[in-house]
Amino acid sequence: MTELSGGPGLPQERRVVTAIPGPKSQELMARKQAAVAGGVSTTLPVFAARAGGGVLEDVDGNSFIDLGSGIAVTSVGNSAEAVVRRASAQLELFTHTCAMVTPYELYVEVCEELAKLTPGDHAKKSALFNSGAEAVENAVKIARAYTGRQAVVVFDHAYHGRTNLTMALTAKNMPYKNGFGPFAPEVYRVPVAYPFRWPTGPENCAEEAAAEAIDRIVKQVGAENVAAIVIEPVLGEGGFIEPAKGFLPAIRQFAADHGIVFVADEIQSGFCRTGQWFACEDEGIVPDLITTAKGIAGGLPLAAVTGRAEIMDAVHGGGLGGTYGGNPVACAAALGAIETMRELDLNARARRIEEVMKGRLTALQEKFGIIGDVRGRGAMLAVELVEPGTKKPNPGAAAAVAGHCHQAGVLVLTAGTYGNVIRFLPPLVIGEDLLNEGLDVLEEAFAGLE
């Protein structure tokens, strides 16, 4: 076949020309199994050769509609022009000096952009890292340094990372925590407002969940001992749970009333993913600290903690950093990604994706009793699958639907505490024809379960 480069010029089509996985992917998988640790698993056992726009092409020439974006990383599309241009230019200058040894302007530029983009008009500062887990861990360090307290409050269904501290913050045992303890102490978990599963119904969810969460904090931890409350404004790995309206403002106000640092984990939901720059803007939440990663740099590893200047400055000199944190090539890519988000108005694109997808997904819910809930915002949407007529989780159906989609050339991801959620994270630059074709395949997958 003709050699093609990746990026926006890649033909935007679904194409299945071999069995999935194809022979070249099977050969590479055998090499992977011999050389790569078994704990590094694979959702779809095909090996990528090129990607761009709304598609991913494998080494066998199969072209998949991409409804995963590398777990919300390539929101601007793979190999976006501005990302490639800026990162390539920086590669020719220098790849690394370590910002803690000799700094460079790109690091400062990214922090300046974060100060402009994140919610609130207060003075802000940032520190840059490599991964979302690093960002969350450092946010906790900063909150503890600022408050002089130790306790950290997190929520049911939360996911915050795979380091020792962030495993403690994460709710789900398998595959993230099982066998890896003991975990960091002084972490306390409270209920979240999960409308679909709240015992007294979604109409009572926000008020009751907030009251129960606050009561547990006060009685079991003591508000005066809490350094930080850490929450995803839309819970990601836990199942794309959008807390009932009113819950986040209540928790945010409780934090403010008791001198607790409120940390919004926007690693999956940030950078236009929900139709706003950050998901916490939906209810006017202004966090003290906000953690970002994934979509920030168009596929290169970069993460940040951004927050109130007086909180960020509470840490002693040398207390924050890391050898690769704020790598210059990744910083250049981030500036390219932000340029793309602005120029293409990817917030509007995300809202349009929601309009297209939610209409289709709601129609599927009416047709197939296995779909218990349709939820999410922007291009961060999900369906929760249940045993028809109940709310009993149905992880087997989620796996079957995902498997059908993969075989038919559509990349989808599963999620959820119970493994019964199919989540959709299409690149924000995906074409509507491609998006609708992917949803056609999804409908076929549900029909095949009947």
- CA 194 to CA 179: how far, in whole Å? 28
Which residue did the predictor score with more confidence, 328 or 9?
Answer: 328
Rounded mean pLDDT of the chain?
Answer: 97
Q: Is the pLDDT of residue 3 over 70?
A: no
Q: What value does the CA radius of gyration of the chain take, rounded to a whole number of Å? A: 22
Q: Is the pLDDT of residue 427 over 90?
A: yes
Predicted confidence at residue 4, as pLDDT, reads 58
- CA 309 to CA 296: how far, in whole Å? 21
Digit-coded pLDDT (tens) for 274-320: 999 999 999 999 999 999 999 999 999 999 999 999 999 999 999 99
Q: With residue 382 as reference, give the H or E element that holds it.
A: strand 380-385
Angle between helices 432-447 and 346-367 (to 10 degrees): 20
Percent of the chain's residues with pLDDT above 70:
99
Digit-coded pLDDT (tens) for 237-279: 999 999 999 999 999 999 999 999 999 999 999 999 999 999 9
- Average pLDDT (394-410) is 98
- Average pLDDT (199-223) is 98
Digit-coded pLDDT (tens) for 131-174: 999 999 999 999 999 999 999 999 999 999 999 999 999 999 99
269: which 2 tokens? 């939901």
Instruction: Indicate the pTM of the whole model.
Output: 0.96
Q: Is the pLDDT of residue 218 over 90?
A: yes
Q: Is the pLDDT of residue 1 over 70?
A: no
- Average pLDDT (99-105) is 97
What's the CA angle centered on 390, arms 385 and 396, to 5 degrees? 35
SS3 category, 283: helix
CA dihedral 345, 271, 112, 109 (to 10 degrees): -80
Residue reference for tokens 């999410």 = 376
- CA 218 to CA 133: how far, in whole Å? 27
Q: Could you tell me which of 115, 81, 111, 114 has the C-alpha nearest to residue 99?
A: 111
Digit-coded pLDDT (tens) for 21-32: 999 999 999 999
Digit-coded pLDDT (tens) for 363-385: 999 999 999 999 999 999 999 99
Please name the amino acid found at residue 79.
S
Digit-coded pLDDT (tens) for 69-90: 999 999 999 999 999 999 999 9
Strand 380-385 to strand 371-377: parallel, antiparallel, or no bridges (unpaired)?
A: antiparallel
List C-alpha distances in Å: 89 to 15, 294, 339: 34, 22, 15
